[in-house]
Amino acid sequence: MPAALIPNICDDDVESSQILTYDMDTEPCQGADYVGRSMLERESIRRDREREGRCADCGVQTHSFMRDEATGMQVKVPLTVKREVHRGRCLLCYPIFPPEFLSRVHRAPENPINPHLQQQQQHCQTTPFSETIAPNQVVITPQSPPTGLPKASRRVSQSNLLGYHNPSDPAVKEALSMLQSMAFDIVDIISAMKRASHDRVVQERGCERLWVLSWEDENSAAIGRVGGIPVVLDAMGRFPLNAHLQQCACECLQNLAHVNDFNRREIAEYQGINMIVQAMIRHMDCAGIQQCGCTALASISATKELIRIIMASGGFHAVLIAARRFANDQSVLRAAYDGLQAMGYDPVGRLPPLGLAYIH
């Protein structure tokens, strides 16, 4: 993502009045090593960096290698370097947003100029993504490009970026090509999502692919170890109005949280619990998001500390709302039951009183 598009998260007054300029024909800068190189050479550099345990964008070392005594194979170990790398995540290229910034993004007003963004919150339909995904599990939102906006350089606000997609961008083309090919592995998928983090369609396809792969426990563990969790959460934070992306991301997170404690801690540390709750609140009428959101919170509720974080984030009330709004949907009710039970509450035959403010 170009540096000019990153909002000032330290000054509310500056951010609220900030108008950003974006050139639709300019390819995101990838560093001095990329100057004068072809797209194939650039992608080769990025893949080499990923395999060497370095950040694909700037080359900073993010992982070390250790030999697994059981298998005798080399395994990646996430590094932590103050102000540079945090558990395998390059803070120079992908800084960790503070909670107050995430809450402001989720409260961002819908853009009245672009009705495409408003339609995304109203639609919640079931359509299979591919033959590998069972039908009636994924929600699809309208993907037609916004109309009435010039194709050339334009001035856009932060809310406009929520639906941005430029199919002519070389980086987007390359990322979509990688995501559509089944020959690429988990690292390649994550690399493609990082490369075009500003593009809605790339993030949708990336979350879909990671969700499908996460059904295998071995893949779920690998996704967490190579830095897939912050990438998925970053996509959720950038496109909170996209119901399809939010559901795929929540489905992926529920599988990742089910596998091991490392993934659960990663989700909590990168504000993933808050992301899941916000998705459930923002898309209250989407049964798919309510179901996978409840299941994800149930999977995360493995320790008292994690349960406290869920409670503080409003997860308990979000599960109750899901149960009340979909009282005739057995799949949502079962997921809500599991979520409440995992948080230490016995929901059989009774639910605690809930104010109308939480429902409406």
Domain boundary among 85, 100, 115: 100
Confidence of residue 146 (pLDDT cuts 50, 70, 90): very low
Please indicate, yes or no, if residue 29 is contained in any of the structural domains.
no
- Identify whether residues 321 and 205 lie together within a single domain: yes
Confidence at residue 66, expressed as pLDDT on a 0 to 100 scale: 83
Both structure tokens of 77:
């170990």
Quote the CA–CA distance of 247 and 261 in Å, as a whole number. Answer: 22
- Identify whether residues 330 and 197 lie together within a single domain: yes
Quickly count helices (H) and strands (E) in the chain.
Answer: 17, 8
- Identify whether residues 64 and 207 lie together within a single domain: no
Tell me which residue of 339, 341, 335, 337 sits closest to 313, measured CA to CA: 339
Domain count, the chain: 2
Please indicate, yes or no, if residue 11 is contained in any of the structural domains.
no
Q: What is the mean pLDDT of the chain?
A: 71
Please indicate, yes or no, if residue 179 is contained in any of the structural domains.
yes
Domain boundary among 47, 81, 100: 100
- Average pLDDT estimate for 101-113: 39
pLDDT at 123 exceeding the cut of 50: no
- Identify whether residues 271 and 180 lie together within a single domain: yes
pLDDT digits (tens, 9 = 90+) for 28-54: 334 445 445 566 777 777 777 877 888
- Identify whether residues 67 and 183 lie together within a single domain: no
Residue 104 near residue 113, CB atoms below 8 Å: no
Distances (CA, A) of 278 to 99, 124, 174: 12, 16, 31
Both structure tokens of 339:
């979520």
285: containing domain: 166-343
pLDDT digits (tens, 9 = 90+) for 10-21: 333 333 333 333
Both structure tokens of 239:
């496109």
What is the CATH classification number for the domain harbouring 323?
Answer: 1.25.10.10
pLDDT digits (tens, 9 = 90+) for 307-349: 999 999 999 999 999 999 999 999 999 999 999 999 988 766 5
Indicate the range of 48-57, 69-78, 127-136, 309-318 predicted with least confidence.
127-136
- Identify whether residues 242 and 334 lie together within a single domain: yes
- Identify whether residues 203 and 71 lie together within a single domain: no
pLDDT digits (tens, 9 = 90+) for 162-200: 455 666 666 677 777 777 766 668 988 898 888 888 888
- Identify whether residues 180 and 262 lie together within a single domain: yes
